[in-house]
Amino acid sequence: LKLQFHYRMCPFVPQPLCVSIDGHLHGFRVTLAFLLSMCLSRMTFTAACPPPCLCASDIISCSGRNLSTVPPDLPGYVTRLDLSHNVLSALLLDWPDRCLDRLTALVLSQNAITHLAPDAFAPTPHLRHLDLSSNGLSRLNASAFHGLGELEVLLLFGNRISQTMAGAFQGLSSLERLYLGGNRLSAFPLELYQQDGALPHLRFLDLSMNMVRQVPVQSLLSLATWQQGGIYLQGNPLVCDCALRAMLEYWERREYRPLLDFREDYPCSLGQEEWLNCSGSPQGGFHGTVEASYQAEPGDWLMVPCPGISLPLREGLMVFWVTPGDGSPALGVTDVQSSRLTVLTNGTLEIRGALREDSGTYSCVAVRGRRRSSNETLEVTVSVGNPSGPGKSGEERSSGGEHFNTAFTTLASCVVSIVLVLLYLYLTPCRCLGGKAGGVGGCGGRAMLLCADPREAELADRRVTGGKRVAFLETGDEHPHKCSAKHPVMDAAATEGILKNGSRALEQVLEEHVA
């Protein structure tokens, strides 16, 4: 078998290697494998930077290149891709030719994008920052952002968005900041905080410069504090009524940044409460002295007046009570009397059949205007089932009592133990056995043994020490004149027998030495 290869068939292989090859089938296979490996080795190269872009390690910038399509052959190692200031009109599903699973930031601002295909961001599952600002988007499809579970920041300001389809932001479980300013939204997107499309970590929502006229005041007051403090509504044609004025005054008293930074861009500014008739009757009187804390027992009915408002209330004046706990529902004036917690028409909070979980701090939200004092409190503390006052809960008191009882018991046990040890050491009656031999000093030898009767000692030892005996031996002859020669000292064998054999051996040895 004769085959001939010309070097033009393998342009990446040096010319000396691409020569005519004559040989058997085995030699052909070896040579062919070698040539293929050389070609593939030359074709395997690191993905280069796309020609119209600038690259710096894992950052690629294709900004301002008049691109109408996304450049092909984007390297898979890119973590930040900037395609801003181009003429892109749509983002289809296959806009990248590979999965960019390391991409965390994508900038598509200042384009002409009017359409986002469903699952358009499926090739970029680990995006954390997505900028689609200043485009021509008019509506958001239900699955436009599907698969972006790690997205934290989404910029959509400067578009023409007038509505968002149900579930457009569903699945963005990590989203913290959403910019929707400068669009054409006419309704507050309450679904971002409620129902199935709620974003659990959304702490910043920019709705400035839209067309919103009404906001759900009671629903917004029911949000957690960290959510309320991040809602920006400046630049909207809001209808200024007593409910909105009360909420804005409450936010201002809480020192939320949207009110402090853009106070002049809200229609309900301070000083307008007179013509709004939201401050109560000028001729009326105040509630009187409103206590800062209330004490009740479980099952009691409690009436809590709203501090700082005058009576009688003018028609249209709205009073809301923010209940304890972040995210607890806010209560408004209602004619429904089925709930245990009800706001009466005069702004008083009525608690029927108080429970221990009703304890906490309640905030009264109402328009107070210039009558409001700088040191006036808007909060009232309610304690249910806490007789010692609002300063300490029942759980804390019971915990302190348990700690006291434990310490007292431990101290008493220590004292009793010390007394018993002292009684055992110093008040145990012991008699010397030397008197039987008629010794002068009553010491029959150099050993002094505890307890007079060995049989009684044996019974006591079995109850206390398991039958073991202890002997104290004198090492020297301190008083030789008191010890007679008829009572020799017990030797080491006798002592070892006492310690090993217990009280019976002790009795036997004593009889032998005394005899």
Least confident of 7-21, 29-43, 399-413, 422-436: 7-21
Instruction: Please state, in angstroms and rounded to a whole number, the distance separating the CA atoms of residues 428 and 416.
Output: 17
Instruction: Indicate the DSSP class of residue 173.
Output: T
pLDDT at residue 362 greater than cutoff 60: yes
Q: What local confidence, expressed as pLDDT, does residue 508 receive? A: 59
Residue 338 covered by a domain:
yes
Q: What local confidence, expressed as pLDDT, does residue 166 receive? A: 76
Tens digit of pLDDT for each residue in 297-341? 999 999 998 887 766 666 667 889 999 877 778 888 765 555 788
- 3-state class of 250 per DSSP? helix
Tens digit of pLDDT for each residue in 17-49? 343 434 444 455 545 555 445 444 444 345 689
The enclosing domain of 325 has a CATH number of 2.60.40.10
Instruction: Please state, in angstroms and rounded to a whole number, the distance separating the CA atoms of residues 121 and 118.
Output: 8
Mean pLDDT of 484-507: 49
Residue 354 covered by a domain:
yes
Residue 317 covered by a domain:
yes
Residue 379 covered by a domain:
yes
Contacts of 83 (CB under 8 A, 6+ apart): 62, 63, 67, 70, 106, 107, 108, 111
Instruction: Please state, in angstroms and rounded to a whole number, the distance separating the CA atoms of residues 173 and 158.
Output: 24
Does pTM top 0.75 for this prediction? no
- Residue 333: CB atoms within 10 A of its CB come to 16
Residue 503 covered by a domain:
no
Residue 403 covered by a domain:
no
Q: What local confidence, expressed as pLDDT, does residue 411 receive? A: 87
Residue 437 covered by a domain:
no
pLDDT at residue 253 greater than cutoff 90: no
Residue 358 covered by a domain:
yes
The total number of structural domains in the chain stands at: 1
Parent domain of 368: 292-384
